[in-house]
Amino acid sequence: MSTQLVEESQAMAEHDPIRSVIRQLRVIIRALQGHSRSVERACGISAAQLWALWELQRSPGLNVSDLSRQLSVHPSTASNLLDKLEQGGLVERRRRERDQRVVRLFVTDAGRELLTRAPAAPQGELNRALQDLDPAKLAALEKGLEALVETMASTEPRAGLHPYEGHP
């Protein structure tokens, strides 16, 4: 966020913290939307699919449960992401010879080629910014967002297990 936006947000927070929070959330949402659009333009896949591909390249042989934990999504969501990546020829599922129930996931040559032209930060600016926050500020943000989510009557309890795809 630019220095000017931060200063404007801080000035507004002194007068109307609710409007300030809403504006700041809009900035975050627009940044996520922009990142998702740029990934789709550059790669032809969603930002969530790209993140899954990066995780599989980083840790070849993961299973669906492992990948869902890496992405912080529900296993069925990870499976749906994988279906699309597999249909695109970017990922392959392999079964172990000894135990055919165990399915391991690997990036294909086409997937590795796509990753060479993909944006470098698959989790996007938000993840980088959260990682860069002072741990105390991150903990305070987490508690504040938990309180906000709990206060909102219309939130879906499992919504946090689905990746943001950048569509309003």
Position 166 scores a pLDDT of 47
Q: In terms of C-beta density within 10 A (0-12 exposed, 13-18 middle, 19 or more buried), how is residue 7 classed?
A: exposed
- State residue 11 phi and psi, 5-degree precision: -65, -40
**What's the token pair of residue 164?**
């943001």
Position 12 scores a pLDDT of 53
Position 120 scores a pLDDT of 65
Q: Which residues of 27-63 are buried (b: 16+ CB within 10 A; e: fewer)?
A: eeeeebbebbeebbeebebbbbbbbbbbbbeeeeebe
**What's the token pair of residue 139?**
């903990």
| Domains delineated in the chain | 3-161 (1.10.10.10)
pLDDT one digit per residue (tens) for the chain, 168 residues: 567 766 666 665 567 889 989 998 898 888 888 888 888 888 899 888 998 999 999 999 999 999 999 888 899 999 999 999 999 999 999 987 777 778 899 999 999 999 998 876 545 667 778 889 999 999 999 999 989 888 887 666 555 545 555 443
